[in-house]
Structure 1
Amino acid sequence: MTDLRARQPDLLSLAPPLRDGIGRRFEYLRLSLTDVCNFSCTYCLPDGYRRPCNRPVELSPDEIGRAVTAFAALGLWKVRLTGGEPTLRRDFDAVARTVAAVPGIRRVAMTTNGYRLAERAQAWRDCGISAINISVDSLDPARFAAITGHDRLADILRGVDAAQAAGFESIKLNAVLMRGINDDELEAMVDFVASRDLSLRFIEVMRTNDNAAFFAARHVAGQTVIDRLEVSGWTRLPRQPGAGPAIELGHPSAKGRIGIIAPYSQDFCASCNRLRLSSDGRLHLCLFGDGGIDLRPQLTGDDPAALLARIRGLVATKAPAHRLHAGDSGATPHLASIGG
């Protein structure tokens, strides 16, 4: 890591922006720190996390530093720490500080189920994390417990307050909208953020290898949500630099914003600007691709040029779009496996 960081100014000046074969430029890395999760959400891990017999060793902080330094040298400036539940790692704070200290990284974000947020919000902000996404799939305590397996809604909402008090620049609530489970809460959720300086992300249920029946029964098309919001006076907002895939909407009388992540919408992949690195060091060019490519040999080596060349060569092969419309979710067993 020392060699790559020492050479980074030269690499940054020489390296052209990272693009794929159809010209999409990449600015955003989703970095999974672990595939372990302590919740059992119905749309992701309904039976809870089951530790594989031969589970790979997670990337060390040093390997993570090497990886992020390489991606920064290739022009990526935003990193999101994901899981599983990333804060289950005992060294989470140290990893966050390592990532935030990499030259060229301007924003460090995290996604969490919020179970430790009330007590750790200020500490995580002090580690250099400036943006946080919190999973809140229902505002009804009993329904929240049924979806996640944990009666912790009150704790998590206290965590949202703590995040606001800690001064995070961006706070977003993520809600997977499911037919017959929580889709009747759309208006209540919108009202919740409309009166607060928060963003809400409605996420379409996505089909993975282990939830085909659930997807068929519970999928709500994102466009139907957009249509309902637009009827109520919400309008689409310009896409922000480095933004994720959400279509964002605002309302003249609302403090908060609404985003829709709709992977089944037309041209969803056209604006893709993100790559994924799994907790065991595999580069995933698409959430629903045919599997990740192992970067660990380069992450443990002392040849930074080889690591940069490897990443650039792989990104050039990224497919134009996912194959979800054909019922093909690639090699993704569940969303916790590579950080969603």
Structure 2
Amino acid sequence: MTELLDRFGRKHTYLRISVTDRCNLRCLYCMPEEGMVFMDQDKLLSYDHILEVASTAAKLGIRKFRITGGEPLVRPGLEELIAGLSALPGVDDISLTTNGLLLAPQAAKLKEAGLRRVNISLDTLDKARFKFIARRGNLDKVWEGIEAAAEAGLNPIKLNCVLLKGVNEDEIGRFLKLSMEQPLHIRFIEYMPIGHDDANWRDHYLPLSRVLEEATRLGYALEQDAGPKGSGPSENWRIAGGAGTFGLIHPISEHFCKNCNRLRLTADGHIKPCLYWVDELNVRPALGSPDEMEQLFRKAMDIKPENHEMAALLAGDKQSHVPTERRMSQIGG
């Protein structure tokens, strides 16, 4: 049997591949504004080595790849990797998560290489607040990226909005209206304590029940929706008659671990069975040996825990495993 089944019967068909830990933004929920230490470039897996890992994954039933970072578009030649992934037998979906700043000039060639769709991080629709949350960058450039993605035929286009209490929760209504007026798919995401259980997380965490409360307050008629391709754990809704949808990704208030089908490959070459826990497996010793690489994936299935227990952390309860010290940008989200 070639499929990847863990101890809890979950079938894994999805691998998220981080190509860099570097980013051209410093979003306040992701990394500090100053002092972030990035990997030496020679520590990154080469595209050839990533394709070697991905080839074994595809033989074991992985059908979906997502390219992440850091900001993946800061790494040159990304279209070469995408073309290689798209050529693997059995692969039917390749997507990209990006902040959009560098997307406009690259969207068409990425699509031509085999990219199907994009998720674009967008936590605010206000230019001044964008500078506050991202600490740098230009909101207009993100919109240029969104428009270029649409023109290139990257579909669906999802906008990832991390909700932060006291920072952008007052924009929920604006994002809901955007999903109604344009064929965009908003994804509200709960702030996760990846690599930093600190006051910033505890002070700004907001459960996504707030989104439905705001939709009700605004008088929107909501319809549950299957969501666009690749909706994963998102709970999806459409405002009646709307051009797009909105979804809720609530890993803390309503964790979806029982349906988890994903693994992660970090930029420096480690398979992570779970985003939150410290456990990871170094692929470098297995490079050049398909059998050893397959065994690494099997071991990842053996050590994958049942759930991540972030809710227990929020409640101050004891956890059963050790949380990772890597930040989200160092794992790939």
TM-score (norm 2): 0.91
Aligned twin of 2:8: 22
Given the alignment, which residue of 113, 124, 132 partners 2:99? 113
State yes or no: 1:308 paired with 2:294. yes
Say which SS state the counterpart of residue 245 (structure 1) adopts.
Answer: coil
Say which SS state the counterpart of residue 316 (structure 1) adopts.
Answer: helix
Tell whether the 8 Å contact from 2:181 to 2:242 is kept in structure 1 after alignment: yes
Aligned twin of 2:182: 196
The alignment's C-alpha RMSD in Å is 2.0
| Equivalent residues in 2 for 1:290-329, closer than 5 Å | 290-298=278-286, 300-301=287-288, 303-327=289-313
Given the alignment, which residue of 150, 157, 163 partners 2:136? 150
Say which SS state the counterpart of residue 111 (structure 1) adopts.
Answer: strand
Alpha-carbon offset, residue 253 of structure 1: 1.0
Tell whether the 8 Å contact from 1:291 to 1:332 is kept in structure 2 after alignment: no
Tell whether the 8 Å contact from 2:7 to 2:302 is kept in structure 1 after alignment: yes
User: In the TM superposition, what whole-angstrom CA distance separates every residue of 1:150-183 from its partner, at most 9, and x where no partner exists?
Assistant: 2411111121111111101211011111111110
Aligned twin of 1:11: none
Aligned twin of 2:20: 34
| Equivalent residues in 2 for 1:162-241, closer than 5 Å | 162-210=148-196, 212-229=198-215, 232-238=220-226
CA distance in 1, matches of 2:308, 2:134: 28
| Overall identity of the aligned pairs, in % | 33
CA distance in 2, matches of 1:59, 1:297: 12
State yes or no: 1:64 paired with 2:50. yes
Alpha-carbon offset, residue 79 of structure 1: 0.3
Tell whether the 8 Å contact from 1:278 to 1:338 is kept in structure 2 after alignment: yes
Paired letter, 2:331: I
Paired letter, 1:237: D
Say which SS state the counterpart of residue 133 (structure 1) adopts.
Answer: strand
State yes or no: 1:338 paired with 2:331. yes
* C-alpha spacing 1:53/1:189, structure 2 compared with 1 (3 Å): closer
Task: Between 77-86 and 223-232, report the one with greater CA deviation.
Answer: 223-232
* C-alpha spacing 1:54/1:95, structure 2 compared with 1 (3 Å): closer
CA distance in 2, matches of 1:93, 1:49: 31
CA distance in 2, matches of 1:311, 1:142: 45
User: In the TM superposition, what whole-angstrom CA distance separates every residue of 1:70-107 from its partner, at most 9, and x where no partner exists?
Assistant: 11111111100000001111121211111111111111
Paired letter, 1:288: Y
* C-alpha spacing 1:56/1:204, structure 2 compared with 1 (3 Å): farther
Tell whether the 8 Å contact from 2:238 to 2:246 is kept in structure 1 after alignment: yes
User: In the TM superposition, what whole-angstrom CA distance separates every residue of 1:226-256 from its partner, at most 9, and x where no partner exists?
Assistant: 3444673223334777542211112331010
State yes or no: 1:258 paired with 2:238. no
TM-score (norm 1): 0.90
Number of residue equivalences: 324
CA distance in 2, matches of 1:235, 1:48: 43
CA distance in 2, matches of 1:238, 1:336: 29
Say which SS state the counterpart of residue 194 (structure 1) adopts.
Answer: helix
Paired letter, 1:282: H
Task: Between 77-86 and 115-124, report the one with greater CA deviation.
Answer: 115-124
Say which SS state the counterpart of residue 308 (structure 1) adopts.
Answer: helix
Tell whether the 8 Å contact from 1:114 to 1:134 is kept in structure 2 after alignment: yes
Paired letter, 1:46: P
User: In the TM superposition, what whole-angstrom CA distance separates every residue of 1:165-208 from its partner, at most 9, and x where no partner exists?
Assistant: 11012110111111111100001011112111110111111113
Q: After TM superposition, where is structure 1 displaced by more than 6 Å over at least 4 residues in a row?
A: 53-56
Say which SS state the counterpart of residue 51 (structure 1) adopts.
Answer: coil
Paired letter, 2:25: F
CA distance in 2, matches of 1:161, 1:233: 28
Gaps of 5+ in 1: 1-14
CA distance in 2, matches of 1:169, 1:94: 20
CA distance in 2, matches of 1:49, 1:96: 32
